[in-house]
Every structure is written in C-alpha cells, then in structure tokens.
Structure 1
Amino acid sequence: MKKLVFIIVALIAVACNNNLVPKPDKIIEEDKMENILYDIALIQGIKSYKPALLDSNGVDPRTYIYKKYAIDSLTLAQNHTWYAANLEKYGKMQGNVVNRLKADREKLDKPIKKKSKKNTAPNAVLDQEQKNRMMQRKQELLRRRNPGAVNK
C-alpha cells in the first residue's frame, strides 16, 4: 500500500511539472519565428485560393520555409511546439501575424477600391457636387437643343 501511494505521489509530481515541452536544441528567435508563422499563413492562403500561383512562380510550399530561413524540419517542429506550449507568448505572436495579414490586405485593397470608385455606375450614389455638375450639363444640353425654352 505504501508503494502504491509513493508511485501515485511520484506520478502527480512528474505530471505537475511546468516544463513539459523540452527546450529545442536550436532556438529560433521570437521575431524570426513570428516571420515564419506569417510566411506559413501566406503560403496556406495562396494554396487554398490559387494553388497554381505557387507552381507558376517556382515556389515549393513544402521546402520554401526551410530554404528561406535556413532551418530544417526538426528545428521548426521543435520550436513550434516549444512556442505553442507558452500560450501567452504564442498568442501574442499569432496576434501579430493576424495584424500583419490584415494590414497587407488593406494595402492591397486600396488600389482596388480606388479603381472601383472610378468605374461607378451612373445610378451610384453621388456626392452633391457631382449631382450639381450633372444638372448643369443637362441644362446646357437642353438650352442648345431648345434655345427659346425656359429653364426650370
């Protein structure tokens, strides 16, 4: 009975150890790991939206990260697990990645929004100045067609 209690206490002590994930042999710096997570998110987005884009640009998504950051798959896996074990730090890193992705999307959307504003349909909502100019043009055209007509 004493042996059973000792084994249970030993197991609890081992299970309560805060350092469950061992420190990687080669630690990737936090900002470099954040850049890696950002690139992984971009690659995943491209793969789901336009997979042929990667092939046409000669990017192999399976090896791109390893070549760009000069790391191997084991180093990446160990560091990813190690950072993910620290939820506060990992959450901050993921939040920064999401913010960068949103900022990039806004930069890319600006030219599209400007272009779409130039190509608005005639029935689109116009500001007051544009409405006034259109009315003046209409009146000018009517005057040319009917010089004796009264303007309303």
Structure 2
Amino acid sequence: MRIILTLIILVIVQSCKDFNNKKPENLISEDKMVEILFDLEIINAARGENKKIIEEKISNVNNYLQNKYKIGIDQFENSISYYSSDILKYSTIIQEVEQKLDSTKNLIQKKISAKRNRQDSLINISKSDTGNLKKNSFTSSPIYREKKLRKNVQKSQ
C-alpha cells in the first residue's frame, strides 16, 4: 500500500513539473491551427452523422491535412504539443475554434430557415381563403364578365 501511495505521489509531483517546451522550428501558426482544428471538428461531427460518406470523401485524416494544409503529422503533433504546454495560447485557439463553429452553425441554421420559409404562397393560405380566392379570381376574369354580360343582354331582349 505504501509503495502504491509513493508511486502516486511521485507521478503527481512529476506531472506538476514546469515543462519548458521549446518552440519547434516548423511551428504551425495560431491562425492556421484554428483552421486545422476547425476542420477536424467538422470531420469528427460528420463522422458521427454519416460515417460512410465521410470515409468516401476523406479516407485518411493524415493525408487530408497533408493535402489541404501542406503539413505532416509530425509537424501537427509538435505544434499541438507546443500550444498545449502554454494554457493561455491553447485556450485562445480553442475559443477561436468554438466561435468559428458557432458562427458556422448559425449561418447554416439561417440558410435552412430561409429555405423552409421559401414555400409556395398557396400553402400558407387557409382553406376559407382559397375558396374566396377561387371565387374572386373566377368572377373577376374577363371571360366570365363577358359571358355574364351576354346573358344579361339576351335576357333583356
């Protein structure tokens, strides 16, 4: 029991040690890191919705990062390690990713709402209104008025 307690204390003390993580030579900029993490969040969310489609489009995330951002997995891991060692920088990056996700979500919701509102105008008219609409549109047509006028003329003769 003492050995386990001693090991736990050593692990805790060792983990509290101040790491002086040196800046890697090929560090990814904070703005680019925001873009990368944003894309990775979108990919992960899409995988949760429809894994098959995402796997068809993006077979390997490492290749995706390399093709889109021209970075390797080692460069990405070194940059994540560096930024995560500085809590303030890392939390700033994460907050920017969250803001970008929220704004993208709001934009998509607005587009969906606008699409739903763009319906045929007759769908929004109640049945009583459509009855009046048919009656009024029929009685106000020039052909109907001409026929009615002919009937009235024939009756008067």
TM range (shorter): 0.5 to 0.7
Post-superposition shift, 1:79? 0.7
Within 2, Cα distance between the matches of 1:118 and 1:58? Answer: 33
Contact 1:54 1:60 in 2 (8 A): no
Change (3 A) 1:66 1:141: closer
Greater gyration radius: 2
Change (3 A) 1:139 1:59: same
TM-score, length-normalised on structure 2? 0.60
Structure 1 unpaired stretches of 5+? 1-13, 120-125, 143-152
Code of the aligned partner of 2:100 = R
Correspondence for 2:52: 52
TM-score, length-normalised on structure 1? 0.62
Aligned length: 123
Within 1, Cα distance between the matches of 2:113 and 2:100? Answer: 20
Contact 1:40 1:65 in 2 (8 A): no
Change (3 A) 1:141 1:23: closer
1:21-44 CA-partner distances (Å, limit 9, x unpaired)? 232231111111111111111111
Post-superposition shift, 1:94? 0.7
Post-superposition shift, 1:82? 0.5
SS of 2:22's equivalent? coil
Post-superposition shift, 1:97? 0.6
Correspondence for 1:65: 65
Correspondence for 1:101: 101
Give the fraction of aligned pairs with identical amino acids, expressed as a percent.
20
Instruction: After the TM superposition, list the runs of 4 or more consecutive aligned residues in structure 1 that deviate by more than 6 angstroms.
Output: 14-17, 134-142
